[in-house]
Amino acid sequence: MKTGIFICHCGHNIKHTIDVKKVSEYFKKFPSVTVSEDYPFVCSEPGQDMIRDSIEKQGLDRVIIASCTPSLHGEMFKDLLKKSGLNPFLLRRVSIREHCSWVGDDVEANTEKAKRLILAGLYSAAHYVPLEEKLVDVTKSALIIGGGVSGLSAAAFLSKMGMQVYLVEKEAELGGHVRTLKNIWPARKEGKSIVDEMVNELSGRKNVEIFTSTTISAFEGFFGNYQVTLNTPEGEKKLTAGGVIASIGFSPFDPGIKPELNYGKDERIITTLDFEKNGDAIKLPGKPRIAILHCVGSRDEQIGKPYCSRVCCINALRVAEAVKDKYKDSYVESFYMDVRAHPRGGEEYFEDTQEKGVLFTRANVAEISPTPAGIVIRGEDTLFSETFEREFDLVVLSIGMSPPIDNKLIASLLKITLDKDKFFLEAHIKLRPFDTAVKGIFIAGSCSGPKDVEESINHGRASAVKLFGFLNLGYAYVDPFISYVDPKRCSGCRMCEQACVAKAIKYDETKRVVHVEEAACMGCGLCNATCPSSAIGLKGYIDCMIDDEISAFLEAI
Amino acid sequence: MGEAKKKDGVEIVGFACSFCTFKASEMAGSLRMKYPEGVKLVQVPCSSRVDPAFVIKAIFEGADGVFVAGCHPGDCHFIKGNYYTRRKIAALKEMFDAFSMKEKLRLFWVSAAEARRFVEKVTDMHNELKERKNEREKA
């Protein structure tokens, strides 16, 4: 066996806590190791060329790359092996960055750990066999959950590209929260007109099916062929979707859970959304005094919402501007922590609002108490370190975004994960911001974290492009990590048949052994762990690989 | 690695599900959280892939502790693999208990987002095993 070990420095990321030279020297003395090199950036072009050269010149039959975590650059290194004429499943990635150099500070201990992690890779890779990727047919259709702006923009793109689109919306009307907004900054357009434009685009297309007032009752299957059961007003409907975009949006923060704000107890305490809906109908005196509170339901550790909701500062500025434009002699005071008017043009808008005479006070508001004469706000001015008490005619709470109410339901249906704030978690925050950990399921819009309208539309479109790239070929390769049966060892006890969740194991009455239906196997390995005669193995994770990995960790080989 | 070094460290072998715990451990690394070097992970496609024989093998070969970590109940990518794991590990724990080494085996659930929980769980396990090891050495 000729194994090549390539250890990445990752600039200083790995090198600073692992003695890479020592590790590469250590592996040179192994008889099965032909090449053991360390290199500053294995993922760079010269680094890849080095691996390719070694494979071609030295005739390597196993490649071990000790670098970042396997999910990063995984496909790239697989392609490299393919180009070099080696089966991509003879590659072993060892994570010595995320699992070693970044989690410990002691150089000596980390070097030992890295050695053993690579050793485990080496022993395990010795059992690798060339595998062929499984080709599966992909249904060219997409299910979009949620008909807000992000879902609509995703649907518009996918349908334009000729893909069958199923758009599912819980409410009776499409458009989500944007439909209710009257003046969307910076376009200064009515939300309804933005939504209607998108809905009109969709309604003329034959390949779009829109289900309103519909929920999803069941979701099964795998990438390329998800079986979805919808609960429509006309009854149950089953369909097959190749991929899914979850764009279920957000729910507005309910200030009722903060009792000191007294929201809902007096009609003079409203939220930015209430102001948006019927701001014109509010009766105010000729010279009104208006208070606006920033960061209600955002950046608040106490109620478990430490994140910035990104849109509420602009919403607060819009309220301030609207009041100032209508009542020239009004007194508008904005209580803020700090103003994060970050979309393009936001800072200028903030300055313009200040010039219009809106007063900005950096403050912690302790209490809002309604009295018959006016609403009294008590708090602390954090720039002057003084307490204050002022009376207003109207208080507007600039509420943030909370995770959607259906987040848990959709997450458990689609088997995707929620992050610590209970929004959907992306596969990688920078490299794969549209994907989830599940292949073929994407997220779009504010269900993956607070976003404004522009960002949501972009996010929806980007997810649609990614999904289109997955589905357009009509076929896809999936990992060949499925189970196989050694009929000579199988005793026909049928324990695996009972255990298999996917019902992929079938018993042959004449031969008295079981066999695996490859198309149905999900590759969980439960049968492998269940079989008392070790007759079933999960390709890529067979018993001897894991056994040897354990031995290498504990140096018992 | 000399024998001397091996004695003072606590060695823990962890079986981590690719879909959740392994992802959480990646995240813990990216966030530069620290946990003891003795913790080493075996990546498995699902926690149900863990044969109790692996756990026993690890203990036989000198691991101070073994943990199996998977997705929270109901979140399994393979629908109900982690329920099987729960039963298997419960039975195995009984056996470990008979040999009065119950503390050497742990099962916990960590989702892909819970990097902090992962670090807390492994550090906690490491500390407890270390304490016990020190006590034994004193005795």
Interval A524-553: pLDDT, tens: 999 999 999 999 999 999 999 999 999 999
Confidence band of B4 (pLDDT split at 50, 70, 90): very low
Question: How distant is the Cα of A409 from the closest Cα of chain B, in angstroms?
Answer: 11
Count: domains in chain A: 4
Nearest to B70 by CA among B85, B92, B58, B51: B85
Do A341 and A295 touch, CB atoms closer than 8 A? Answer: no
Question: What pLDDT is attached to residue A20?
Answer: 94
pLDDT at A466 > cutoff 50:
yes
- Residue B4, token pair as written in the block: 């001397």
Size of interface A-B (CB pairs under 8 A): 145
Cβ contacts of A22-30, under 8 Å, gap ≥ 24: A22/A111, A23/A66, A23/A111, A23/A114, A23/A115, A23/A118, A26/A115, A27/A118, A27/A122, A30/A3, A30/A122
The residue among B32, B50, B56, B61 with the most chain A CBs within 10 A of its CB, best to mutate, is B61
Are A462 and A482 spatial neighbours (Cβ–Cβ below 8 Å)?
Answer: no
Partner-chain residue, chosen from A525, A538, A550, that has the shortest CB–CB distance to B13: A550
Cβ(A62)–Cβ(A125) below 8 Å: yes
Cβ-in-10-Å burial (0-12, 13-18, 19+) of A236 comes to exposed
Cα of A303 to nearest chain B Cα, Å: 19
pLDDT at A343: 86
Same domain, residue pair A266 and A239? no
Question: Coil, strand, or helix at residue A278?
Answer: helix
Predicted pLDDT of residue B3: 45
Cβ-contact A291, A335 below 8 angstroms = yes
Confidence (pLDDT) at A43 = 93
Q: How many CB atoms lie within 10 A of CB A539?
A: 19
Contacts of A267 (CB under 8 A, 6+ apart): none
Contacts of A541 (CB under 8 A, 6+ apart): A481, A525, A528, B44, B45, B49
Residue A242 sits in the same domain as residue A290:
no
pTM for the model: 0.79
Helices in A339-473 by DSSP H: which ranges? Answer: 346-355, 407-414, 453-471
Please indicate, yes or no, whether residues A31 and A101 belong to a single structural domain of this protein.
Answer: yes
CA distance B33 to chain A (A): 6
The B residues from 83 to 122 touching A (CB cutoff 8 Å) are 84, 88, 111-114
**Closest-CA distance of chain B to residue A195, Å:** 33
CB within 8 Å of chain A, chain B residues 21-80: 23, 25-26, 28-30, 32-37, 40-46, 48-54, 57-58, 61-63, 74-80
Q: Is A452 exposed, middle or buried (0-12, 13-18, 19+ CB in 10 A)?
A: buried
CA–CA gap between residue A553 and residue A124 (Å, rounded): 11
B chain contacts of residue A550, beta-carbon cutoff 8 Å:
13, 42, 54, 57-58, 61, 63
Confidence band for B8, pLDDT divided at 50, 70 and 90: low
- Give residue limits of the domains in chain B: 11-138
Instruction: List, as one string, the DSSP characters of A531-556.
Output: -TT--EEETTS-HHHHHHHHHHHHT-
Are residues A331 and A294 both part of a single domain?
Answer: yes
Pair (A389, A407) in one structural domain: no
Same domain, A390 and A461: no
Can you tell me the mean pLDDT for A404-418? 90
Residue closest to A418 by CA, chosen among A402, A400, A431: A402
**B30 contacts on A by Cβ (under 8 Å):** 98, 102
**Residue of B78, B83, B85, B114 to mutate, interface with A, max A Cβ within 10 Å:** B78
Put simply, the answer to whether A419 touches B81 (Cβ < 8 Å) is: no
Give the DSSP H or E segment for A514: strand A513-516
Domain boundaries, position A282: 252-396
Is there a contact between A554 and B34 if contact means CB atoms under 8 Å apart? no
A323 falls within a domain:
yes
pLDDT of residue A391: 95
CA count, 13 A, side-chain hemisphere, A155: 34
For B115-124, write each residue's pLDDT tens digit: 999 999 999 9
Check whether residue A435 and residue A384 sit in a common domain.
no
Rounded alpha-carbon distances, angstroms, from residue A233 to A164, A206, A247, B96 = 21, 21, 21, 55
Q: Which residue of B has its CA nearest to A120?
A: B42
Q: Compute CA A198 distance to the chain's CA centroid, rounded to the nearest angstrom.
A: 25
Quote the pLDDT of residue A277: 85
Residues A389 and A504 in one domain: no
Structure-block tokens of residue A428 = 């990688």
Q: How far apart are CA B35 and CA A143, in angstroms?
A: 41
End residue of a domain, out of A429, A458, A476 = A476
Q: Would you say A443 and A144 are in contact if contact means Cβ atoms under 8 Å apart?
A: no
CA B124 and chain centroid, separation: 11
Domain for residue A545, yes or no? no
Count Cβ atoms within 10 A of the Cβ of residue A369 and give its class: 0-12 exposed, 13-18 middle, 19 or more buried: middle
Nearest to A543 among B45, B51, B76 (CB): B51
Asked if A271 and A396 touch (Cβ cutoff 8 Å), the reply is yes
Q: What's the rounded Cα separation, in Å, for the pair A540 and A537?
A: 9
Contacts of A35 (CB under 8 A, 6+ apart): A3, A4, A5, A6, A54, A58, A60
Looking at the complex, does the CB of residue A279 fall below 8 Å from at least one CB of chain B? no
Residue A95: pLDDT above 50? Answer: yes
Q: How many CA atoms lie within 13 A of A187 on its CB side?
A: 12
Indicate whether A94 and A176 sit together in one domain.
Answer: no
Interface with A, mutate which of B3, B6, B49 (most A CBs under 10 A): B49
Q: What is the mean pLDDT of residues A423-430?
A: 86
Pairing mode of beta strands A164-168, A386-392: unpaired
Q: What is the pLDDT of residues A216-255, one digit of tens each?
A: 999 988 888 899 999 999 999 999 999 999 999 999 999 9
- A543-554 and B52-60 helices, crossing angle to 10°: 30
- Residue B138, chain A, CB below 8 Å: the answer is no
ipTM of the complex: 0.94
Q: Nearest 5 degrees, angle CA A260-CA A250-CA A319?
A: 60
- Give the pLDDT confidence score for residue A96 in this predicted structure: 95
In B, which residues are within 8 Å of A547 by CB distance?
A: 54, 57
Q: Kindly report the CA angle at A165 between A159 and A169, in degrees rounded to 5?
A: 120
**In this predicted model, what pLDDT tens digit does every residue of A471-525 receive, in sequence order?**
999 998 888 899 999 999 999 999 999 999 888 899 999 999 999 988 788 889 9
Q: How far apart are CA A86 and CA A96, in angstroms?
A: 24
A297 and A384 in one domain? yes
pLDDT at B1: 43
Asked, for residue A428, whether it belongs to a domain, the answer is yes
Q: What is the CA radius of gyration of chain A?
A: 30
CATH number of B11-138: 3.40.50
Half-sphere exposure for A531 (CA within 13 Å, toward CB): 28
Higher pLDDT pick, A416 / B41? B41
Pick A553's closest partner by Cβ from B13, B76, B114: B13
pLDDT in tens, A315-344: 999 999 999 999 999 999 999 999 999 888
pLDDT band per the 50, 70, 90 thresholds, residue A430: confident
**CB within 8 Å of chain B, chain A residues 82-141:** 95, 97-100, 102-106, 109-110, 112-113, 115-117, 120
Rounded (5°) CA angle A83-A85-A89: 90
- CATH code for the domain in which residue A510 is found: 3.30.70.20
Distance from CA of B72 to the nearest CA of A (A): 10
- Closest CB to B112: pick one of A425, A525, A530: A425
Nearest CB to B34 within list A105, A117, A499: A105
Q: Which among A528, A433, A443, A522 is positioned nearest to A478, based on CA atoms? A: A522
- Min Cα distance A174 → chain B (Å) is 30
CATH number of the domain that residue A258 is part of: 3.50.50.60
Per-residue pLDDT of A244-279, as tens digits, reads 999 999 999 999 999 999 999 999 999 999 998 888
Question: Residues 192 to 251 of A: which have CB under 8 A from any B CB?
Answer: none
Q: Where in A347-453 does DSSP place strands (E)?
A: 359-370, 375-381, 386-392, 394-399, 401-402, 441-443
- Report if residue A219 sits inside a domain: yes
Chain A residues near residue B50 by CB distance under 8 angstroms: 529
A154 and A114 in a common domain: no
Are the Cβ atoms of B42 and A550 closer than 8 angstroms? yes
Q: Do A345 and A286 fall into the same domain?
A: yes
